[in-house]
Structure 1
């Protein structure tokens, strides 16, 4: 009789409770008196609170009140707030992308529009940025939909997922950066005066022109512009003969906090300010000299015109006298 135990299989790791719920492998909780209470209902209530009041408003107590139970009753379904946040994140990330575009750019643009729509519907998603390793079904389904748009593209397999994570990061960051929810309106209105030409010579004109005014059309245009530029970069990368991954050295955090580095950076900034001021003075000097030269030329031209007029008048008088 053979003693070969056959092929060995690695034991499936035990998942944290919230992950087990998203993957459908969690043990069902023992139902309490309110048998209609479910994990789905709890998560839906939490999402409704976050949609209306923001992620910081979500608490076990408020969610319990929303579903009509005591806070302790929730713990039969979720182990705590961290569990609840992960379930909210995965549920709000359920996105269906048609995926019938003709080119990878159109496919990724459509994909990005659907992902962005989820962030518009649930702005708090931007407070839970995508990680380098999506671990829940709906977040992984987003990556799968993006890979569908890239199917057939001449790109290394180890470059496709990082590309999608780059785009996901852009979508989340733009949703966060373009929100005015946390901006004090009085401060925003004061920016044109606070952002001076001396300190921010390149930014100040744009601020005065209203670049930070909360206009939805500009927000959409800005998103589309940034997305297209990312696509341009991806397209250029695909055109390279060697499109292997580009690495970049990580700057040690000790460098940025080093006193000498910070002092040197301050000196550089001061030198830039001094240079801008010197350039401004030079431009003023050139303008003044130009004005003086133009004034002198105008004066000379006027004098010449007067002399010419006098000569013409004298000649006319002489001619008139000769005729008499």
Structure 2
């Protein structure tokens, strides 16, 4: 039972569940729950209380079921998290209506991606590993790659550029969501006091702080990084003619 609770270990079964192609049982009582209901409840718990609060027992209790009864629908926690990710990310962004060229579309993709992470910080943790991706998550990737392909980047460049952009988004998100944001004021006060005592040892850091380098709005790091990345990508295209 312990192994069952951690996941079935069957990659094909997990993919079928995630992509909605799993066979439905032809015998036995009619299911009184659905995978969608279970996943939606898990996402609601994670949104309200964080990922550690999500458990098969907690979800079963929300429906008045036993924990073991949920395994008829979801083999275990690993498969549940995969389902949660795809539901929480949502459908692929429609970038066709974004005015401007490929730079504007890719920048808008990054902004929407950041909003998703800041709205659901627990996604940062569970998407930072190699795993099977669902149709919604792949849809987001496909939308970004389509923009890069239309701009004229090669397949290898599309992949590398995508990793650069999504890596920048994730980095910004890590410093602007959840508990990190709540600790910024305390961190700044403590570090500021310490640095003033040892200003001669860290002159560049002190100068940057005193010059306002660490007092920017939370959305500026995203835009600055995007501008640098997009300038570099545009230069690559220009050099190739």
Taking a change above 3 Å as real, the CA distance of residues 83 and 235 of structure 1, as seen in their structure-2 partners, is same
Shift of the alpha carbon at 1:116? 2.0
2:163 to 162, 165, 172: 165
SS where residue 219 of structure 1 aligns? Answer: coil
Bigger RCO (CA 8 Å, 6+ sep): 2
Checking the alignment, whether the CA contact within 8 Å between 2:87 and 2:136 is kept in structure 1 is yes
User: Hey, what's the Cα distance between the residues in 2 that align with 1:204 and 1:36?
Assistant: 62
User: Hey, what's the Cα distance between the residues in 2 that align with 1:204 and 1:60?
Assistant: 49
Checking the alignment, whether the CA contact within 8 Å between 1:49 and 1:57 is kept in structure 2 is yes
User: Hey, what's the Cα distance between the residues in 2 that align with 1:144 and 1:134?
Assistant: 15
Checking the alignment, whether the CA contact within 8 Å between 2:149 and 2:155 is kept in structure 1 is no
Stretch moving more, 109-118 or 81-90: 109-118
1:203 to 202, 205, 229: 205
Gaps of 5+ in 1: 1-13, 243-324
Checking the alignment, whether the CA contact within 8 Å between 1:18 and 1:84 is kept in structure 2 is no
Checking the alignment, whether the CA contact within 8 Å between 2:92 and 2:136 is kept in structure 1 is no
For residue 64 of structure 2, what is the aligned residue in structure 1?
A: 68
**2:82 corresponds to 1:86:** yes
SS where residue 218 of structure 1 aligns? Answer: coil
Taking a change above 3 Å as real, the CA distance of residues 20 and 54 of structure 1, as seen in their structure-2 partners, is same
| RMSD of aligned residue pairs (Cα, Å) | 2.9
**2:238 corresponds to 1:236:** no
For residue 51 of structure 1, what is the aligned residue in structure 2?
A: 47
* Count of residue correspondences: 226
User: Hey, what's the Cα distance between the residues in 2 that align with 1:174 and 1:151?
Assistant: 25
TM norm structure 2: 0.80
Cα deviations by residue, 1:272-305 (Å, 9 ceiling, x for unpaired): xxxxxxxxxxxxxxxxxxxxxxxxxxxxxxxxxx
- State the structure with more CA Rg: 1
User: Hey, what's the Cα distance between the residues in 2 that align with 1:33 and 1:188?
Assistant: 59
2:140 to 139, 142, 146: 142
User: Mapping of 1:280-299 within 5 angstroms?
Assistant: none
Checking the alignment, whether the CA contact within 8 Å between 2:145 and 2:158 is kept in structure 1 is yes
Cα deviations by residue, 1:28-74 (Å, 9 ceiling, x for unpaired): 36898794311111111111111112222222222222333222222
Shift of the alpha carbon at 1:119? 1.5
Taking a change above 3 Å as real, the CA distance of residues 149 and 66 of structure 1, as seen in their structure-2 partners, is same
